[in-house]
């Protein structure tokens, strides 16, 4: 028997309900508005009053409208077909909705249950299994998609029967499992999971030790993010947060990308699903869209579903992680999610914390970031979720609750700088303020020194020192004037400019410069440092600046040319000639 209730109060999308029976925190219910069912989630219970946040506009709702509770939390449907899909925050398929305008109460299924897949069993009758163990595999596009023991199955099971290799519908029974009590449970390719609960089913979560390549030099070279790591990008508007995230989505070497467009501009999402089906993933040569799932709840869509969208996206990531995949989750922007929490907390007239955000904001954010990580599965394989979130600090001021709470939770910090953006130095990641805590992990440094270059960490530190010195000198020159500092200072400043122009700045819209594989990053950094380490004997600071401007120009032309191609080699030869190398 489902619990029921009636509406007794309405303020915007916060509705109070008098219910009979039992309801659970976060339980889903549907409010009947003249036959249209509005989905809502319980966020507070007091006596027999339930406070629910409605995922739709409440226009026209009346006192006395009836409500039916569903007996479960907000769930997502997991199975083959998630990739290439475009969902709203509640996992409704946006592509199958009719009409140009969103209709209230229209919910579309996340997956096509009737779609046929070629299934190959991996387990056999008699095998002992537990939740999230692999039973078989289908090809989702070109990616192997594991069909697993549903995450909700508690305890140990024995495979009673499993279908032979062949073509089956997603909803067909593919296996029967017997639990310890001897009860049989049927399994299809589809399962459901509540989004606010982290998926378990792994042995351990070790410290990340490998680096996730993003193709963005200022990240990979200076402050790399680990596979299974967390990072965040705070920045005022107009500093290129979204362009940077899209660049990472396009060029990172993750196998699966989930993009959560949370409370952001609709046209940015349009850009993703217009361009991704055309763009080729440089690592696999396949279309980017084939490895991507988009969860979008743009800023004009209902606020409550905005909060749900990041959880929906994370749960989809965890599903693929359990298949042993390398997953990257990009959420833009987590501030909008925090604002959604604030709006609700405000309507419930809770006592506010800083800037009127709910007091448990910090805990909510760190819980969410903790769902990222690399895991060792029961079969010894590993899967990972790397999470990069953007933060939109109010007024560009990093001393605000969302940024501060996120800083505690995320290990990489990519600070976008207004002054760099004003100078059109993109990506505007500040090389001095940003950091990657993963560089403090000996295993990560060892990985870099083995994989990239045996002196890699040393070279990177050398470059960072030059950048830092250059910044100090720049300030001194501003105070003392060009003549007020020795020529050697000018030389150091221009070396830092060289690193800035050639390594840090990257043209996200140039077909070649937009992504730089690690091998090329290593080559260019070494070359830049070779130029920096040469002895120069400048007589005047003008001589110094004009020389370096020419060097910068040549090396930028190299960045625009095919790696080690004809043009690239030609510019390099010119460069060597200029600095007097053979």
- 200 forms part of the interface with another protein (CB under 8 A): no
**Are the C-beta atoms of residues 288 and 248 closer than 8 Å to each other?**
no
- With CA atoms as reference, report the closest residue to 156 among 176, 175, 177, 137: 177
What's the gap between Cα 406 and its chain centre?
14
- 95 forms part of the interface with another protein (CB under 8 A): yes
Half-sphere exposure of 452 (CA within 13 A, CB side): 29
User: Pattern of binders to another protein over 437-476, x per CB under 8 A?
Assistant: ----------------------------------------
Nearer to another protein, 141 or 396 (CB): 396
Instruction: Tell me how many degrees the CA angle 109-112-117 measures, rounded to the nearest 5.
Output: 155
**Are the C-beta atoms of residues 400 and 340 closer than 8 Å to each other?**
no
- 481 forms part of the interface with another protein (CB under 8 A): yes
Backbone dihedral region of 262: left (phi > 0), alpha (psi from -120 to 50 degrees) or beta? beta
**Residues of this chain, 248-307, that bind another protein according to CB under 8 A:** 263, 265-267, 269-271, 273-274, 296, 298-301, 303
Residue 281 C-beta: closest distance to another protein, Å: 20
Partners of residue 194 on adjacent β-strands: 75
DSSP 8-state symbol, 287 = B
Question: Using the rule CB under 8 A, which residue among 46, 59, 204, 511 binds another protein?
Answer: 59
- 342 forms part of the interface with another protein (CB under 8 A): yes
Backbone dihedral region of 79: left (phi > 0), alpha (psi from -120 to 50 degrees) or beta? left
- 395 forms part of the interface with another protein (CB under 8 A): yes
**Are the C-beta atoms of residues 112 and 323 closer than 8 Å to each other?**
no
Residue 546 C-beta: closest distance to another protein, Å: 8
DSSP E strand boundaries for 151-255: 156-162, 166-169, 175-179, 184-187, 191-194, 202-204, 211-212, 225-226, 230-234
**Residues of this chain, 400-429, that bind another protein according to CB under 8 A:** 422-424
**Residues of this chain, 16-35, that bind another protein according to CB under 8 A:** 16
Question: Using the rule CB under 8 A, which residue among 441, 560, 563, 576 binds another protein?
Answer: 560
**Are the C-beta atoms of residues 314 and 368 closer than 8 Å to each other?**
yes
Contacting range for another protein; rule: CB under 8 A; set: 11-19, 145-153, 320-328, 372-380? 11-19
- 47 forms part of the interface with another protein (CB under 8 A): no
Q: How far apart are CA 311 and CA 73, in angstroms?
A: 12
User: Pattern of binders to another protein over 161-190, x per CB under 8 A?
Assistant: ------------------------------
Residue 353 C-beta: closest distance to another protein, Å: 11
- 514 forms part of the interface with another protein (CB under 8 A): no
- 48 forms part of the interface with another protein (CB under 8 A): no
Residue 10 C-beta: closest distance to another protein, Å: 5
- 8 forms part of the interface with another protein (CB under 8 A): yes
Residue 141 C-beta: closest distance to another protein, Å: 19
Contacting range for another protein; rule: CB under 8 A; set: 121-129, 187-195, 284-292, 337-345? 337-345
Tokens representing 385 are 């979720």
Q: Is 283 exposed, middle or buried (0-12, 13-18, 19+ CB in 10 A)?
A: middle
Nearer to another protein, 224 or 389 (CB): 389
3-state helix/strand/coil string of 106-168: CCCCCCCCCCEEEEEECCCCCCEEECCCEEEEEEECCEEEEEECCCCCCCEEEEEEECCCEEE
Nearer to another protein, 86 or 189 (CB): 86
**Residues of this chain, 353-392, that bind another protein according to CB under 8 A:** 355-356, 392
Cβ neighbour number for residue 46 with a 10 Å cutoff? 8
**Residues of this chain, 530-559, that bind another protein according to CB under 8 A:** 541-542, 545-546, 549-550, 552-553, 556-557
């Amino acid at each position: 028997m489902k619990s029921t209730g009636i509406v007794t109060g309405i303020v915007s999308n916060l509705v109070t309900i008098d219910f009979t029976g039992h309801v659970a925190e976060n339980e889903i219910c549907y409010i009947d508005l003249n036959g249209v069912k509005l989905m809502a989630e319980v966020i507070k219970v007091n006596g027999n009053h339930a406070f629910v946040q409605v995922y739709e506009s409440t226009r026209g709702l009346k006192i006395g409208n009836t409500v039916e509770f569903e007996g479960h939390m907000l769930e997502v449907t997991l199975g083959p077909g998630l990739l290439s899909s475009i969902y709203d925050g509640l996992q409704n398929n946006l592509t199958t909705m009719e009409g140009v305008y969103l209709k209230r109460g229209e919910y579309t299924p996340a997956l096509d249950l009737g779609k046929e897949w070629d299934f190959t069993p991996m387990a056999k009758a008699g095998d002992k299994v537990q939740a999230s163990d692999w039973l078989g595999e289908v090809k989702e596009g070109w990616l192997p998609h594991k069909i697993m023991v549903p995450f909700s199955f508690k305890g140990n099971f024995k495979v009673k029967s499993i279908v032979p290799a062949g073509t089956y519908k997603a909803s067909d029974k593919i296996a029967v499992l017997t639990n310890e009590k001897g009860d049989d449970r049927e399994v299809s390719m589809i399962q459901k999971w509540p989004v606010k609960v982290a998926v378990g089913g792994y042995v351990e979560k070790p410290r990340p030790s490998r680096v996730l390549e993003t193709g963005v030099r200022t990240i990979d070279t200076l402050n790399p993010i680990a596979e299974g790591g967390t990072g965040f990008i705070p920045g005022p508007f107009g500093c290129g947060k979204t362009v940077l995230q899209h660049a990472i989505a396009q060029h990172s070497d993750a196998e699966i990308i989930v993009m959560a467009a949370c409370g952001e501009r609709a046209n940015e999402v349009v850009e993703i699903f217009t361009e991704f089906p055309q763009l080729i993933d440089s690592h696999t040569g396949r279309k980017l869209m084939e490895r991507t799932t988009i969860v979008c709840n743009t800023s004009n869509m209902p606020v409550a579903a905005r909060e749900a969208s990041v959880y929906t996206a994370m749960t989809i990531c965890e599903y693929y992680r359990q298949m042993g995949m390398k997953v990257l989750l990009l959420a833009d922007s987590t501030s909008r999610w925090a604002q959604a929490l604030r709006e609700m907390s405000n309507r419930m007239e809770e006592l506010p914390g800083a800037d009127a955000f709910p007091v448990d904001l910090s805990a909510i954010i760190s819980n969410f970031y903790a769902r990222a990580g690399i895991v060792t599965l029961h079969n010894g394989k590993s899967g990972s979720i790397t999470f990069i979130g953007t933060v939109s600090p109010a007024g560009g001021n990093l001393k605000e609750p969302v940024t501060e709470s996120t800083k505690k939770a995320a290990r990489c910090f990519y600070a976008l700088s207004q002054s760099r953006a004003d100078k059109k130095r993109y990506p505007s990641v500040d090389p001095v303020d940003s950091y990657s805590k993963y560089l403090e992990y000996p295993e990560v440094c060892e990985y870099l020194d083995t994989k990239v270059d045996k002196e890699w960490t040393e070279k990177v530190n050398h470059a960072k020192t030059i950048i830092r010195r250059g910044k100090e000198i720049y300030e001194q020159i501003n105070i003392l004037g060009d003549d007020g500092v020795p020529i050697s200072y000018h030389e150091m400043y221009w070396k830092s400019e060289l690193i800035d122009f050639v390594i840090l700045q990257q043209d996200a819209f140039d077909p070649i410069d937009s992504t730089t594989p690690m091998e090329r990053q290593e080559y260019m950094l070494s070359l830049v440092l070779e130029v920096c380490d040469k002895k120069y004997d400048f007589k005047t600071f003008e001589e110094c600046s004009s020389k370096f401007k020419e060097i910068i120009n040549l090396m930028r032309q190299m960045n625009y040319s095919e790696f080690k191609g004809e043009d690239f080699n030609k510019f390099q030869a010119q460069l060597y000639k200029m600095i007097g190398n053979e």
